[in-house]
Amino acid sequence: MSIATIEVSISALLHNVAAFKTLSPNSQIMAIVKANAYSHGKNMIATCLDDVVDYFGVARLEEGIELRKIGIKSPIVLLEGFFLHDEVTQLLKYNLQTVIHCQEQIDKLKYLDLPAGSLDVWFKLDSGMHRLGFRPEQAGQAFQSLCDCQVIKQSINVMSHFCCADDVRSSITTEQMTIFDQFIATACDPSRIGKQSIAASGGILAWPVSHRDVIRPGIALYGVSPFSYDEPNRATGAGLGLKPVMVFKSEIITVREHKEGESLGYGLIWQAQYSTRLAVVAMGYGDGYPRDILANTPVWINQRMVPIVGRVAMDMILVDLGPNATDKAGDEVILWGNDALPVEKIAAHSGMSAYELLTRLTERAKLRYVD
């Protein structure tokens, strides 16, 4: 049966980790596996990387608990932190570390009757993103009150997050590092400061001075560029020395004749200017392929690029194979992930970021691990 498949290359994943180790030999690695490892399947990704990286980063408590339940040994950091008292008990039970980004969390920790020195935390400084974290003018006092919480460990890790690291010309990134360094230099008690971490993919690839103790690759871990695909750079993971981990593919369900002048698909939005052959492909927005793509967005079939025609439907797309095509039912169709068709290119054709294309893939698309 033809079916949408997310083919994941473990050797490409390991290549990317090795590339980070070369780029940043003195930093530890926190592999970001939130959103089911950007749809690569977090359990398998974490299992393969457990002995290779130093930390895992997740966005939701449930993700961390699941990784522990399948036997992941490395430290796991809950990047959005906890919300409720009860969740702190879960953090300790499953040996998870948490980000502390607001005073309410510190207030909850203060009154918890839990073993002293048991919780590993990451103090989050808002250095300019203005999403999570303590504002610089409040951070010193907040850090002090965190130090006073019995339940946390002696050493408090400090982290921040860049808002514009993907823009290599932006001065904001340098300003954020200055704010971070000022905080470290003036924060209450230096003996309580543990690991420092700022860089996600953009910082890792474009801002070497941001690497610090722990780098946090997400999209670059999966071999995809965090930079925009605009002219003139056309940045792709491969162009940055990474290997795309995912090939998103399916198969031709059937090939049919189509006559000059006939339109096709929902809304009949495309009309053939010549008689041709069409492939009906088992792929649609029900698998997470974007519905709103530009005209002539390509797919890869039998060593060439061919355009999608008409509207993307829930379960099927139509492809113009050309008048003399010899393709047949069961032939492989690559939507993205090979050299010719990087996901960054489809992102440009759909007005979405590569981040969104990856994370919106649905459960109907089956994961398959190779090499």
Ligand X SMILES: *Cc1c(COP(=O)(O)O)cnc(C)c1O
Give catalytic residues, as residue numbers. 34, 266
Q: 121 or 319: whose CB is closer to ligand X?
A: 121
Our finding on whether 216 is near ligand X (CB under 6 A) is: yes
Please give the residue whose beta carbon sits closest to ligand X in the complex: 218
Per-residue CA distances from 280 to 62, 124, 301, 320, 333 (Å): 39, 50, 12, 9, 10
Is 131 assigned to a binding site?
A: yes
Q: 166 or 320: whose CB is closer to ligand X?
A: 166
Is 314 assigned to a binding site?
A: yes
**Interface positions, 4-33, toward ligand X (CB under 6 A):** 32
Separation between Cα atoms, residue 79 and residue 58, nearest integer Å: 6
Q: 176 or 201: whose CB is closer to ligand X?
A: 201
**Interface positions, 102-141, toward ligand X (CB under 6 A):** none
Our finding on whether 226 is near ligand X (CB under 6 A) is: yes
**Interface positions, 40-79, toward ligand X (CB under 6 A):** 79
Expressed in angstroms, the distance from the first to the final Cα of the chain is: 23
Going by C-beta distance under 8 Å and a sequence separation of 6 or more, which residues neighbour residue 368?
5, 6, 7, 8
Our finding on whether 288 is near ligand X (CB under 6 A) is: no
Q: How far is the CB of 34 from ligand X (least distance, A)?
A: 6
CB 353 within 8 A of CB 347: yes
Strand positions, DSSP E, the chain: 5-9, 28-32, 55-58, 76-78, 96-100, 121-124, 156-159, 193-197, 214-215, 246-258, 263-264, 270-271, 276-282, 298-301, 304-309, 316-320, 332-336, 366-370
Q: How far is the CB of 202 from ligand X (least distance, A)?
A: 6
Span near ligand X by CB under 6 A; candidates 13-21, 200-208, 270-278, 279-287 = 200-208
Contact residues toward ligand X (CB under 6 A) are: 32, 34, 79, 161, 200-202, 216-220, 226
